[in-house]
Amino acid sequence: MKKHTSRAAAALATAALCATLLGACGGNQGQGSATDSAGTDAATEEKQDTATDTDDTAAKESNIDYMVLVNKTHKLPAGWEDAIEIVHFTNSEGWDVDVEAKAYDAYLELKDDLEADGVYVDLDSAYRSVEAQQEIVDDFTEKYGAEYVKQYVAVPGYSEHHTGLALDLFLIIDGKGVYLNEDMVTYPEVWDKIHAKLADHGFILRYLPEKKIETGYSYEPWHIRYIGDTEVARKIMDEGITFERYLGELDPSIADCTVDYGTSELYTEADIDSALDVVLAEFGTWDGCTLKKIAFMGDEACNADELAYVNELREAQMPDEAEFDQALVLTSEFHSPSAEQAENTAWEPDTDYRDWTWHLGRTGADGSWKLLTWGFD
Contact footprint for Zn ion (CB under 5 A): 25, 168, 223
- Give the nearer residue to Zn ion in terms of CB position, either 106 or 294: 106
CB 158 to Zn ion: min, Å: 13
Would you give the DSSP letter of residue 162? G
- Give the nearer residue to Zn ion in terms of CB position, either 159 or 336: 159
Q: Label the pairing between strands 290-296 and 258-260.
A: parallel
- Give the nearer residue to Zn ion in terms of CB position, either 167 or 275: 167
Backbone angles phi, psi at 303, to 5 degrees: -85, -170
What is d(CA 363, CA 324) in angstroms, rounded to the nearest whole number? 4
What is d(CA 68, CA 165) in angstroms, rounded to the nearest whole number? 9
CB 125 to Zn ion: min, Å: 7
* Residue of closest CB approach to Zn ion: 25
Q: Judge whether 107 and 222 are in contact, CB under 8 Å.
A: no
**Closest to 80 in 3D by CA, of 99, 68, 64, 66:** 64
H-helix or E-strand spanning residue 136: helix 130-144
- Give the nearer residue to Zn ion in terms of CB position, either 219 or 369: 219
- Give the nearer residue to Zn ion in terms of CB position, either 23 or 361: 23
3-state secondary structure of 77: coil
What is d(CA 68, CA 61) in angstroms, rounded to the nearest whole number? 16
CB 153 to Zn ion: min, Å: 12
**Closest to 245 in 3D by CA, of 284, 216, 275, 274:** 216
- Give the nearer residue to Zn ion in terms of CB position, either 18 or 279: 18
CB 365 to Zn ion: min, Å: 23
- Give the nearer residue to Zn ion in terms of CB position, either 111 or 223: 223
What is d(CA 100, CA 64) in angstroms, rounded to the nearest whole number? 10
CB 26 to Zn ion: min, Å: 8
Would you give the DSSP letter of residue 64? S
Cβ-count burial of 364 within 10 angstroms (0-12 exposed, 13-18 middle, 19+ buried)?
A: exposed
**Closest to 159 in 3D by CA, of 141, 124, 134:** 134
Q: Judge whether 181 and 152 are in contact, CB under 8 Å.
A: no
CB 229 to Zn ion: min, Å: 21
- Give the nearer residue to Zn ion in terms of CB position, either 15 or 25: 25
Q: Judge whether 363 and 374 are in contact, CB under 8 Å.
A: no
CB 152 to Zn ion: min, Å: 13
For the chain, strand residue ranges (E) read 86-90, 96-100, 120-125, 166-173, 176-178, 203-207, 220-226, 258-260, 290-296, 326-335, 352-362, 370-376
Give 325's contacts (C-beta < 8 A, 6+ positions apart).
Answer: 307, 362, 363, 364
CB 147 to Zn ion: min, Å: 22
CB 223 to Zn ion: min, Å: 4
CB 269 to Zn ion: min, Å: 17
- Give the nearer residue to Zn ion in terms of CB position, either 102 or 223: 223
- Give the nearer residue to Zn ion in terms of CB position, either 273 or 306: 273
